[in-house]
């Protein structure tokens, strides 16, 4: 028995040697086989939301009333299993319908405008590196309908996720995205806001260091303050003052995560004028100081 095992081992080694000797010399010693365009998300977290929660920080809840604008450093896949709603994504208003999937990109500003009384929305957050990031760019134009095949793959992903198998969860989630590449666009793609609302949002996001109080904005837009205020709330679903403050704070979280600038510089670049006013507004929104947020982001990284 032992002699036969030794003989089999020798045959395997001989085959390995012959195969190794037959390998051609590489054309490039630094670029070789990779998973190329395979979508293999990492650090996957999945959870469900079924009701509004008006807390103003973290992932604890979602709300159209808390006045919170979000900007995460990860990808966020939202699948509306039950219930319709709407959300603002940068300068667009996006309608979300049942059995649609929407993808939010890292550092993409978003906020909820309307949420149904009863809903079941599945969230999957993840990191992604390499060429696969380009494949997901098609999602920037809006959501996509979940067909039967994609739904069955989503069930498989959740099963792997609940089993705690990281690699299989990654493969399964990648298959969901592959199936969605040819899926029908959502019922309503990301619709541009009314011209004036889009102009206001664009102006705010490009001029955070400047005076963005109502008088200055009305002069920049060439309309009265009352008209500006009413049009924006009607078109964006939130107050203009809250939008300006929230976008500044979201931009601040991005700068804090980069970890390069002093807090005073960040305060100026986001239009707060002073470190004191910046810290006060930041604490009110995120329930922690800017310095605490920076320490936490470094720890999580």
**Backbone angles phi and psi of 24, in degrees to 5:** -75, 160
**Backbone angles phi and psi of 83, in degrees to 5:** 95, 145
Same domain? For 221 and 149 the reply is no
| Interval 241-257 mean pLDDT | 86
* pLDDT for the residue numbered 236: 77
Map residue 153 onto helix, strand or coil: helix
* pLDDT for the residue numbered 156: 96
Give the position of tokens 């930041």: 282
Same domain? For 94 and 173 the reply is yes
**Torsion from C-alpha of 65, 51, 75, 72, nearest 10 degrees:** 40
In a domain, 7, yes or no: no
In a domain, 101, yes or no: yes
In a domain, 73, yes or no: yes
Same domain? For 99 and 122 the reply is yes
Same domain? For 169 and 57 the reply is yes
46-85 pLDDT, tens digit per residue, is 999 998 877 655 566 787 776 667 777 789 999 999 999 9
* pLDDT for the residue numbered 185: 86
In a domain, 14, yes or no: no
* pLDDT for the residue numbered 36: 66
pLDDT at 37 over 80: no
* pLDDT for the residue numbered 221: 92
Q: What's the domain range around 105?
A: 42-180
Q: Which CATH number fits the domain that encloses residue 171?
A: 2.60.120.280
The mean of the pLDDT values for the chain is 86
Contact yes or no for 77/105 (Cβ under 8 A): no
Q: Measure the CA–CA gap between 86 and 238, rounded to whole angstroms.
A: 12
In a domain, 285, yes or no: yes
Quote the percentage of the chain above a pLDDT of 70: 90
Q: Which CATH number fits the domain that encloses residue 290?
A: 1.10.10.60
Same domain? For 125 and 219 the reply is no
Domain boundary among 120, 148, 180: 180
Give the CA angle between residues 240, 244, 248 to the nearest 5°. Answer: 165
Same domain? For 52 and 143 the reply is yes
Classify residue 210 by its DSSP letter: S
In a domain, 233, yes or no: yes
In a domain, 26, yes or no: no
pLDDT at 300 over 60: no
Top-confidence residue, 165 or 295: 165
Top-confidence residue, 260 or 43: 43
Tokens of 165: 């198998």
Q: Measure the CA–CA gap between 98 and 186, rounded to whole angstroms.
A: 10
Domain boundary among 139, 157, 180: 180
HSE (side-chain half, CA atoms, 13 Å) at 44: 25
Top-confidence residue, 31 or 27: 27
pLDDT at 33 over 90: no
Same domain? For 155 and 101 the reply is yes
Domains in the chain: how many in total? Answer: 2
* pLDDT for the residue numbered 87: 87
Band of pLDDT at residue 1, cut at 50, 70 and 90: low
Map residue 130 onto helix, strand or coil: coil
Q: Measure the CA–CA gap between 109 and 250, rounded to whole angstroms.
A: 7
Same domain? For 52 and 168 the reply is yes
| Interval 271-291 mean pLDDT | 88
Domain boundary among 125, 151, 180: 180
* pLDDT for the residue numbered 190: 44
Tokens of 49: 């939301």
Give CA separation, 257 vs 42, 55, 57, 266, 295, in Å. Answer: 19, 22, 16, 11, 9
Same domain? For 101 and 209 the reply is no
* pLDDT for the residue numbered 263: 94
Same domain? For 47 and 174 the reply is yes
Q: Measure the CA–CA gap between 182 and 93, rounded to whole angstroms.
A: 23
pLDDT at 184 over 60: yes
| Interval 148-166 mean pLDDT | 94
Same domain? For 68 and 111 the reply is yes
In a domain, 24, yes or no: no
* pLDDT for the residue numbered 299: 56
pLDDT at 191 over 80: no
* pLDDT for the residue numbered 192: 46
Same domain? For 120 and 58 the reply is yes
């Amino acid at each position: 028995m032992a002699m036969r095992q030794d003989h089999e081992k020798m045959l395997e080694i001989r085959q390995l040697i012959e195969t190794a000797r037959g390998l051609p010399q590489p054309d490039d010693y630094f670029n070789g086989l990779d998973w190329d365009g395979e979508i293999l998300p990492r650090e996957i977290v999945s959870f469900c939301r079924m009701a509004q929660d008006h807390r103003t920080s973290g992932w604890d809840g979602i709300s159209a009333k808390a006045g919170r604008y979000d900007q995460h450093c990860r990808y966020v896949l939202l699948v509306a299993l039950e219930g319709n709603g709407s959300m603002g994504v940068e300068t667009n208003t996006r309608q979300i319908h049942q059995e649609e999937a929407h993808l939010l990109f890292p550092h993409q500003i978003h906020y909820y405008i309307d949420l149904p009384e009863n809903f079941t929305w599945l969230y999957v957050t993840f990191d992604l590196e390499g060429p696969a990031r380009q494949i997901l760019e098609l999602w920037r134009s809006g959501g996509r309908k979940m067909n039967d095949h994609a739904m069955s793959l989503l069930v498989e992903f959740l099963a792997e996720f609940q089993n705690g198998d990281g690699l299989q969860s990654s493969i399964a989630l990648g298959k969901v995205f592959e199936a969605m590449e040819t899926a029908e666009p959502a019922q309503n793609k990301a619709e541009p806001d009314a011209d004036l609302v889009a102009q206001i949002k664009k102006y705010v996001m490009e001029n955070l260091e400047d005076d963005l109080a109502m008088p200055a904005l009305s002069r920049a837009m060439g309309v009265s303050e009352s008209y500006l205020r009413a049009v924006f709330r009607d078109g964006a679903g939130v107050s203009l003052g809250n939008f300006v403050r929230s976008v500044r704070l979201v931009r601040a979280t991005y700068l804090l995560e980069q970890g390069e600038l002093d807090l005073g510089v960040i305060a100026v670049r986001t239009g707060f004028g002073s470190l004191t006013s910046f810290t006060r507004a930041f604490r009110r929104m995120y329930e922690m100081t800017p310095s605490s947020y920076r320490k936490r982001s470094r720890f999580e990284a």
